[in-house]
């Protein structure tokens, strides 16, 4: 029997107060901090096919003892974390022969 895939989901509140559901693609922890790599979650698979495929990276900050996700303001840091994610993703899903 095939193993069923169940995504890890997180719900964020947008600036407009609307809830947006994301799939957690990766959690990266390194000397720069802790980061969540997220991709919008779609109930309807057709919506995912038509999506741009853009993922988002948020930095974990601690406010009053609680973890919150914040946008990364430093473009160089964002590029470094994106490179870490893409390397890990490619190692996980693609053979060297591809």
pTM of the model: 0.81
More confident residue, 35 or 52: 35
pLDDT at 95: 62
Q: Which two tokens stand for residue 30?
A: 């390194």
pLDDT of residue 96: 58
Q: Is 80 exceeded by the pLDDT of residue 97?
A: no
Three-state DSSP at 31 gives: coil
Q: What is the mean pLDDT of the chain?
A: 88
Ranges assigned E (strand) in 1-98: 9-13, 19-30, 33-40, 56-63, 66-71
Q: What is the pLDDT of residues 14-24, one digit of tens each?
A: 889 999 999 99
């Amino acid at each position: 029997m095939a193993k069923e895939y169940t995504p890890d989901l997180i719900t964020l509140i947008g600036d407009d107060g609307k809830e947006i559901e994301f799939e957690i693609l990766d959690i990266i922890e390194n000397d720069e901090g802790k980061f969540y790599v997220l991709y919008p979650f779609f109930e309807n698979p057709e919506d995912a096919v038509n999506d741009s495929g853009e993922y988002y990276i948020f930095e974990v900050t601690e406010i009053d003892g609680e973890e919150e996700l914040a946008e990364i303001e430093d473009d160089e840091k964002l590029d470094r974390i994106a490179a870490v994610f893409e390397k890990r993703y490619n190692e996980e899903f693609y053979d060297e022969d591809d």
